[in-house]
Amino acid sequence: MSRLLQVGDPAPAKIINPEGTSPILLVCEHAGQGIPAALGDLGLTQDQRDAHIGWDIGAAAVTHLLSERLNATAILQHYSRLVIDCNRPPEAVDSVPEVSDGIKIPGNIALPNRRQRVEEIFEPFHAQVSGLLDSGRFSVAISVHSFTPVMQNVPRPWDIGFLYRKDADTPSRLAAYMQKTFPWMTIGHNQPYQVTGVSDWFVPVHGEARGLKHSLIEIRNDHISTEDGQAKWADILGDSLQHFLTEAST
């Protein structure tokens, strides 16, 4: 079988600030909206690819800023979640979705090259995340995501949500500090999603299985669709994570 990624297609994983001194590793699985050249546009318009179904709007920018503020290493994934969702087990039905928020994805129907997407994007990206986490440099893993304010016509009230299962302590401490420091904030716990072993990858595989302190953080994407919003939320998260580290070390 020929390769999916060709010369000119970027590698799935991009590591920034690799020498960062923070014990936090930042992970951004839905950072990019890239599509391998061989897949064309997946049959979607530019507007559809730019919408929340294609990537986590603002998440990459916040991750970059957070990496600077914390001097933390970050790893970002280049390809659209519509090519393959790097926060789902590859066997999940919507790992390569045929429909996303009501939009049909023509390039994902009757898929001849699903295995290539797993082998050339999902697996190498997660091998690099695992390599970083197994290096022993990090005691905390934070996954940065964003969510759409309205899903299937239902508005979502939260400004930010923490997704977790076994490690409730890390998100609870972060949320408690945020609520005290930023009283206007509506914080969701396991909102707008609940983590499960069949639908999720970061929390069960990178966080729980390694026994690391961890949380997946979801920011409502209308807060981080502009540079001002991205800077504001990087400040909020940076301040909260710094406080978390200080508290954890005392």
Strands in 13-16's sheet, in edge-to-edge order, are 13-16, 73-77, 24-28, 140-147, 213-220, 160-163, 187-189
Look-up: residue for tokens 């540079």? 227
Per-residue string for binding with Zn ion, 118-147, x by CB under 5 A?
A: ---------------------------x--
Q: Binding of Zn ion at residue 30 (CB under 5 A)?
A: yes
Q: Work out whether 220 is an interface residue with Zn ion (CB under 5 A).
A: no
Residue nearest to Zn ion (CB): 145
Provide the minimum distance between the beta carbon of 56 and Zn ion in the complex, in angstroms, as a whole number: 4
Q: Which is nearer to Zn ion, 56 or 200 (CB)?
A: 56
Of 36 and 161, CB closest to Zn ion: 161
Q: How far is the CB of 219 from Zn ion (least distance, A)?
A: 10
Q: Which of residues 50-79 bind Zn ion (CB under 5 A)?
A: 56
Class of residue 229 by CB neighbours under 10 A (exposed 0-12, middle 13-18, buried 19+)? middle
Closer by beta carbon to Zn ion, 56 or else 159: 56
Span near Zn ion by CB under 5 A; candidates 11-19, 24-32, 70-78, 224-232 = 24-32
Class of residue 91 by CB neighbours under 10 A (exposed 0-12, middle 13-18, buried 19+): exposed
Q: What is the DSSP letter of 83?
A: T
- Measured from the CB atom, the residue of 117 and 145 that comes closer to Zn ion is 145
CA distance 139 to 190: 22
Identify the DSSP state of 168. -
Neighbours of 84 (CB within 10 A): 24
SS3 breakdown of the chain: % helix, strand, coil, rounded to 5?
35, 20, 45
With contacts defined by CB under 5 A, name the span among 11-19, 26-34, 45-53, 130-138 that binds Zn ion.
Answer: 26-34
Instruction: Report how many residues bind Zn ion under the rule CB under 5 A.
Output: 3
Q: Per rule CB under 5 A, is residue 85 in the interface with Zn ion? A: no
Interaction site with Zn ion (CB under 5 A): 30, 56, 145
